[in-house]
Chain A
Amino acid sequence: MDDKKTAIKIVDLHKSFDSQKVLDGINLEIPHGEITVIIGKSGGGKSVLMKHLIGLLKPDRGEIWIDGQDITKLKEKELNEVRKKFGMLFQEAALFDSMNVLDNVAFPLREHTKLSEKEIVQLTEEKLRSVGLAGFGYKMPSELSGGMRKRVGLARALIMDPEIVLFDEPTSALDPIISLTILDLIKETQERFKKTYVVISHDILGMFRIAHRVAMLYNGKIIEYGTPRDVKKSEKEEVKEFLKATGIPGF
């Protein structure tokens, strides 16, 4: 377990909104080049944790180490340099409504690289093809289905070849079949590029399908962390309860 390089190291992370404690001392080491899934109840602070990883939220206390830097202490400008190593797929894909699919996916390239327009279009179309959306470049996001939007979001998250890709509920609001294709897509791209993927989800069943490691978030703490096999065998009451709630025999 410790032989792997650590991509993200979270130390004693605390965060409260008003009187409500959301994160209560998170400690987690996310290894490089693997898919780590953080599961937990809806509204249990998973999204809050993820927003800390990319600097959208500042913690009340604690540290987040990425590439030897504590990003919670960084200024906006330095933080942006760290963010360039990230890609993120949002829950609702968060595509820009005012742009077509091609412009959406090409957006990071246009803003952060000096590539020519021809190269940008070429790269973008290649990425769209890899998520199975070749030829959809000139559609507007509003013309796409939820699953297609997620795929465009994935293409956009991957376009800069980021070291770390974050996924916020990649299968929420999708039917089971589409969910599977998205999950397969995630797994496939990870296997191809060997980047660090961090997925948060409450969809246990789906996550065990792709995860190299699973962390369970409960009451603002990580109560179990290990390979899917380890987690399944966990003796902790909360974990058992959670797994049981999925209602699938054998879990």
Chain B
Amino acid sequence: MINLFGLERIFNPINGILRELGGMGLMFLNSILLAFRKPLKFNYIFKQMEFIGVKSLGVVVITGTFTGMVLALQSYYGFRKFGAEGLVGTTVALSMTRELGPVLTSLMVTGRAGSAMAAELGTMRVTEQIDALIVMALNPIKYLVTPRVIASFFMLPVLTIISDFVGIVGGWLVGVKLLGINEGAFINKMVKYVDLEDIYNGLVKAACFGIILSVVACYKGFHTTGGAEGVGRSTTESVVISSVSILVADYILTSLMF
């Protein structure tokens, strides 16, 4: 296909990574450009939003709550040594809104929806459903990738804000109700030290992670080869690559934002 044969062998690993990165970038650009070409398929987007957002809600709520609870517990034991139990609320709220809300939500969605996307598109690839779309003169990126990327982009922040909230509620339950931290101090210190920017930046992060996980999953699914086994491989790879990329992107975004 490409006549860079000898060169390719030498630079194979780097070449492979760069090519995947480039492929994902192109796929993302394509999917966004195609979103502006009529007709935009709202029912497809809603279906994906339901799949990514609504069906991930349970797992996100549970992770969020327990993360908030354990944060409260851990920081309580730390702060008690300085008699600063009142800062537990601040710690929980800041950690949730800035970091754990977006990151954990994205990782959970990657595991739940990202893997399913890769598997679904992978299956469509190996059973020629993607070819069938092309033969019908329809752009598979527009039909399969665009709705998933858009849905992830919008649903991840929604899930994140819910995760933030239940995390803080979980922290409040443990801190105030279980450990007996003064409720006034808990709430006031939290309100005092948490800024709107913390929340908004967390949501921006979540939206970026949404793009990352959906693009990676779609790319991996789209480029599946080798039958059922290939689908399994794509799914695993997409989860690994998405998770790592999310954490790396998290560092970059954090250093840019805060």
Contacts and interface: CB of A to CB of B under 8 A. Distances in A.
Nearest to B130: A94
A158 to B, nearest CB: 13
A91 B135 CA distance: 14
Contact of B138 (A18, A51, A54, A111): A111
Nearest to B132: A94
Contact of A83 (B5, B128, B135): B135
B120 to A, nearest CB: 8
Q: Which of under 10, 10 to 19, 20 to 34, or 35 or more describes the interface residues of B?
A: 10 to 19
A245 B135 CA distance: 34
B18 interface: no
A56 B135 contact: yes
B46 to A, nearest CB: 14
B137 A88 contact: no
Given A17-B1, A18-B1, A97-B123, A112 B137 contact: yes
Interface in B87-137: 120, 123-124, 127-129, 131-132, 134-137
B127 A81 contact: no
A55 B131 CA distance: 10
A34 B5 CA distance: 42
Contacts of A19: 5
Mostly, the B contact residues are helix
A94 B137 contact: no
B137 A91 contact: no
A19 B139 CA distance: 30
Contacts of A17: 1
B136 to A, nearest CB: 5
Contact of A90 (B128, B137, B138, B139): B128
Given A18-B1, A90-B128, A91-B128, A54 B135 contact: yes
A56 B136 contact: no
A94 B127 contact: yes
Contacts, number: 51
A95 B134 CA distance: 13
A45 B189 CA distance: 71
Interface residues of A, number: 28
B135 A86 contact: yes
A142 B28 CA distance: 31
B33 to A, nearest CB: 13
Contacts of A84: 137
B136 A111 contact: yes
Interface in A104-126: 107-108, 111-112
Nearest to A83: B137
Given A17-B1, A81-B137, A97-B123, A88 B132 contact: yes
A63 B253 CA distance: 50
A107 B132 CA distance: 11
A88 B135 CA distance: 7
A226 B182 CA distance: 92
Contacts of A83: 134-137
A29 interface: no
A44 B114 CA distance: 37
Contacts of B132: 88, 90, 94, 96
Interface in B187-224: none
A51 B134 CA distance: 11
Contacts of B138: 111
A80 interface: yes
A92 B120 CA distance: 16
Given A94-B127, A96-B132, 19 more contacts: A18-B1, A54-B134, A56-B131, A80-B137, A83-B134, A84-B137, A88-B135, A90-B128, A90-B131, A90-B132, A91-B128, A92-B127, A92-B128, A94-B128, A97-B120, A97-B123, A97-B127, A111-B136, A166-B135
20 contacts: A51-B131, A54-B134, A55-B134, A80-B137, A83-B135, A84-B137, A86-B135, A88-B132, A91-B128, A94-B129, A96-B129, A96-B132, A97-B120, A97-B124, A97-B127, A98-B120, A108-B136, A111-B136, A111-B138, A166-B135
Interface of A: 17-19, 51, 54-56, 76, 80-81, 83-84, 86-88, 90-92, 94-98, 107-108, 111-112, 166
7 A-B pairs with least C-beta separation? A80-B137, A83-B137, A94-B128, A94-B132, A88-B135, A90-B128, A94-B129
